[in-house]
Amino acid sequence: MKNLLIVFIALCSHTVFAQDAQVEVTKENLSKKWVFKDVINPDKSEAALAEMRDMLGALSLHFKKDGTYIMELLGNRKGTWQLNQDNKTITTKQDGKSASSSWTVHSLTKNELVASRDEASQKIIFAAQQ
């Protein structure tokens, strides 16, 4: 019975860790809808972070396989996106705008993306929408 319990715990642990394992940053792995989960900013107080969480609560990014994206935050912004050759930077260009933005990918798992926009120290945690 004890051995059966050890095997069960080992299998459960493997399943939990496998879901959160880092995956390669590729267009394929990024191509999904990501919804705001949390924000990390060591320069902000907890009160300021709570306010940011409220502001960013409706944020989502939907990177599509065809190279288009939709960013939802106070309305929809549509445009194109590409993963740069370094496989760490996503460049977005909103339709009708000449300037582009960049997102630095800090980590990526099957279910979570951690990224910062335009070299900001603030990191945004996104959850994959199922």
Of the chain, the percentage scoring pLDDT greater than 70 comes to 85
Closest CA to 37 of 112, 100, 103, 119: 112
Token pair recorded at residue 1: 């019975």
Stretch 37-64: mean pLDDT? 94
Hey, where are the domains in the chain? 24-128
Q: What is the pLDDT of residue 118?
A: 87
67 in Cβ contact with 81 (< 8 Å):
yes
Calpha distance 22→122 (Å, rounded): 21
- CATH of the domain spanning 24-128: 2.40.128.270
Closest C-alpha to 25, from 126, 81, 105, 82? 105
Does 18 score more than 70 pLDDT? Answer: no
For Cα atoms 77, 25, 39, give the angle at the middle one, nearest 5 degrees: 55
Q: How confident is the model over 88-125, as pLDDT tens digits?
A: 999 999 999 999 999 999 999 999 999 999 888 899 99
Higher-pLDDT residue of 5, 92: 92
In this prediction, residue 19 carries a pLDDT of 55
The model's pTM: 0.81
